[in-house]
Amino acid sequence: MKIAFGLITKFKAHPGNRKALVNILLEAAVGLERYNACIQYVVSVNEDDPETVIVTEVWTDSGHHKASLDNEEVKAIIERAKPLIASVEKSINMDVIGGKGL
């Protein structure tokens, strides 16, 4: 039984820009504290892959996630992050079934 909507996105930062991208994404996480529909927003890195940033999100449903992208603050953060991103390698939408912390 589906309990939420999940999204995993793998970003490749331009060389030397990962830290700046991480900082912007963490700023986005703070802004999402106001969204009750955002259950989880986690920013991760792997030291073996110095340009990759992975964002894992869990929302009550896909509609709330989509609506968040229309928020002016969210749009501004996305625009600040875009120049730092070389590519979005993978984005996976998921039906969240359950687990610890949910």
Tokens 């989509």 label which residue? Answer: 66
Could you tell me if residue 102 is inside a domain?
no
Mean pLDDT of all residues in the chain? 96
Q: With 90 as the cut, is the pLDDT of residue 93 above it? A: yes
Total number of domains constituting the chain: 1
Which residues span the domain enclosing 65? 4-96
- Residue 76 scores a pLDDT above 90: yes
Query: What is the per-residue pLDDT across 17-55, written as a single tens digit (0 to 9) for each?
Result: 999 999 999 999 999 999 999 999 999 999 999 999 999
**What is the Cα–Cα distance from 36 to 82, expressed in whole angstroms?**
26
Greatest CA separation for the chain:
42
What is the CATH number for 41?
A: 3.30.70.100
Asked, for residue 22, whether it belongs to a domain, the answer is: yes
Q: DSSP letter string over the chain?
A: ---EEEEEEEEEEPTT-HHHHHHHHHHHHHHGGG-TTEEEEEEEEETTEEEEEEEEEEES-HHHHHHHTTSHHHHHHHHHHGGGEEEEEEEEEEEE---TT-
Contact between 81 and 21 under an 8 Å Cβ cutoff? The reply is yes
pTM of the model: 0.93
